[in-house]
Structure 1
Amino acid sequence: MVRKGHLKLSFDDGRADFLLPEDGKLEKSNLTTFIAENSMELIIPFSQESADKIFSSNIHLHSLLFINSTVESQKTLLEQSKVVAKEFKGKMLFIVIDVTAALSHVLTYFGVSEEDAPTARVINMDTAKKFSIASEDLSPDSLRQLCQEVVGGTTQPYYRSEEIPEDWDKKPVKVLVGKNFDSVTQNSSKNVFVEFYAPWCRHCKELSPIWDQLGEKYADHDDIIIAKMDATANEVEAVTIDGFPTLKYFPAGGKEVISYTGKRDLETFSKFVDAGGVLPEEESDADDDEDEDDTEKAQRVTARAAHPPAMTAHSISATGREPAIHITKASIGEEGHQLSSAFPEVVRAKSDILLPSSFGFQLGMEDGEQVGDHVGWREAVNEKHHPVDSLF
């Protein structure tokens, strides 16, 4: 029904009014977005089918309710939470995730176990910051308060952390987790060189013996710490991980953190550490050459995305670093056209070719093949294996 000034449409949640601009012109794109967002349920049951609508929405605050669908009291809590979802409609998407479903990567990304249900998490898709609520405190009122604080910017995000190992400092290479990261790296008298790794990463495995040698070399230096952290199980606010391994040097006295981009051999590492976080001069020239190589490779990858029938995505190793989104042995089908139109440039990080960590396409994998750890809950959803040529 169209009346002067607004368009009235009926949805499952009742009526929604689309306000027309002052000139009275109706833009198709605006109306399409309005219909798409209002046609979704107040609390959207998550599935592969609903994922596309969720991640293509213009609403980038997502409130996730984790429940066990076999527990009646939790189903009742979900129903009661619809009142809160209605209050924040247009500001936040509400999504329910059944912890009994096959979504282990999503649960891992948010640090939720099946035993934690019912619980809630809120994520800002623009910043990837996550906000939590204690399981025992979850109620419509506490959920409302969490959402208000996130929208108002008055609450702090949370970061995953493993427990601190008892022997974390007993070996030459110290083991960091989220809970001891700041106390070690912010030490005013220590220079700390940290490897952020992923257990599955091939380049990290190749680096491991060299990193151990580096730890042995500086084990007796009181002002130098060589450390490592599993960045798939621990998160810290100060560091953004876009590929593995990521190497960061934290100078004593809280000075600016330095990203290491040089060769990964004991000699170059040693020169870097001895110089207080400065790469040898010859490394800068080598990096420039590598940048040019990566640029050419980035252009080739983008060009291939525009011609999917001839494209086979494969691991492109330039300097030995695995991307957070790692394309390996995945063939991209016809819908790969979307890739080149939505993301005309791939991301370079002096490493393998990276696709933007925020992109919502799903790379098909052969059965049994493992893709690299993804960044973001959208990518965690897509971690599950699917047939080759399945790109949504």
Structure 2
Amino acid sequence: VNETYQLANQVDNKQLDLESEDTESIDATKLSRFIEINSLHLVTEYNPVTVIGLFNSMIQIHLLLIMNKASPEYEESILRYQKAAKLFQGKILFILVDSGVKENGKVISFFKLKASQLPALAIYQTLDDEWDTLTMAEVSVEHVKNFCDGFLEGKRPRENHESEDKTPKVEL
């Protein structure tokens, strides 16, 4: 007998199904994980209210898009970011950090980014504080996917940034 558990998701106003060949294989852990993953927005905006929930999430890898919501590219960028978020749902928590909000400066400086380097992606693993950043001219699904895949595979481009810092950068 195939049974389906349904979750009415108030966040994105959609119904989600958890299908199971055998209802006995659904334990409290699997069910609570399904509910937590699917009760989140695809992209959660970072602010004083959401920060506690973000850091208490069972999803231990967080991807931050650090971008000014007032920028003309924002609407297109966030749509692409949401598309990419669907690819990693349950594996990576997608977060938006509005660089136009003064209080978010602490987040930006934590990842050693400057305003001139934004928009940027920052990926963070809560268990071991591993993190990496990627600055970009344009937010695309492909950029986000490649960056996330690389991090999940253990590639850490940030480790190579030290040699970059020693060569003087010329502003154009």
TM-score bracket for the superposition, by shorter chain length = 0.7 to 0.9
Question: Match of 1:53?
Answer: 53
SS of residue in 2 equivalent to 1:34: helix
For residues 177-226 of structure 1, the C-alpha deviation after alignment (integer angstroms, 9 at most, x for no partner) is x957xxxxxxxxxxxxxxxxxxxxxxxxxxxxxxxxxxxxxxxxxxxxxx
State percent identity of aligned pairs: 20
- TM-score w.r.t. structure 2 length? 0.79
**Greater C-alpha Rg:** 1
Match in the other structure for 2:85: 85
Counterpart Cα distance in 2 of 1:138 and 1:77: 5
Does the alignment pair 1:66 with 2:50? no
Aligned to 1:105: 106
AA partner of residue 43 (structure 2): I
Could you say if the C-alpha distance between residues 127 and 73 of structure 1 is closer, same or farther in structure 2, counting changes exceeding 3 Å?
same
Quick check: 2:119–2:135 contact (8 Å CA) kept in 1?
no
Say if 2:2 and 2:21, in contact at 8 Å, map to a contact too.
Answer: no
Please say if 1:9 is aligned against 2:10.
no
| Partner secondary structure for residue 158 of structure 2 | coil
Contact 1:65 1:118 in 2 (8 A): yes
Alignment of 1:355-366 (within 5 A): none
Answer whether contact 2:2 2:19 (CA < 8 A) is retained. no
User: How far off is 1:51 after superposition?
Assistant: 1.3
- What secondary structure, in the 3-state scheme, does the structure 2 residue paired with 1:48 have? coil
Shift of 1:103: 1.8
Name the SS of the counterpart of 1:103 in structure 2. Answer: helix
Distance 1:160 1:13, change over 3 A: farther
Post-superposition offset of 1:23? 5.4
Structure 1 residue 27, shift from structure 2 partner: 4.1
| Shift in Å, 1:29 | 5.0
CA–CA distance in 2 between the matches of 1:150 and 1:159? Answer: 12
Task: Give SS of 1:158's match.
Answer: helix
CA distance in 2, matches of 1:39, 1:137: 29
Question: In structure 1, what is the Cα distance between the partners aligned to 2:30 and 2:52?
Answer: 18
Pairwise CA distance, 1:28: 4.3
Counterpart in the other structure of 2:96: 96
The superposition leaves residues 114-158 of structure 1 with CA deviations (integer Å, 9 ceiling, x where unpaired) of 3322111111222211122222254221111111212233x2241
- Which consecutive unaligned segments of at least 5 residues does structure 2 have? 167-172
Q: Report the CA distance between 1:34 and its aligned residue.
A: 2.4
Secondary structure of 1:96's partner? strand
Runs of 5+ unmatched residues, structure 1: 164-177, 181-392
The code of the aligned residue for 2:71 comes to V
Indicate how the Cα distance of structure 1 residues 17 and 151 shifts in structure 2: closer, same or farther if over 3 A, else same. farther
Give the C-alpha shift of residue 36 in structure 1.
2.4
Aligned partner letter, 1:130 = W
Which amino acid is the alignment partner of residue 31 of structure 1? L
* TM alignment of 1:306-345, pairs within 5 A: none
Contact 1:43-1:95 within 8 A present in 2 as well:
yes
Contact 2:61 2:92 in 1 (8 A): yes
Residue 142 of structure 2: aligned partner: 141
Q: Distance in 2 between matches of 1:113 and 1:6?
A: 48
CA distance in 2, matches of 1:78, 1:35: 24
After superposition, the C-alpha distances for 1:314-362 in whole angstroms (9 at most, x for unaligned) are xxxxxxxxxxxxxxxxxxxxxxxxxxxxxxxxxxxxxxxxxxxxxxxxx
User: Which amino acid in structure 2 is aligned with residue 73 of structure 1?
Assistant: E
Deviations 1:213-241 (A, max 9, x none): xxxxxxxxxxxxxxxxxxxxxxxxxxxxx
- Greater strand share, structure number: 2
How far 1:70 sits from its partner (Å)? Answer: 0.9
Match of 2:169 in 1: none
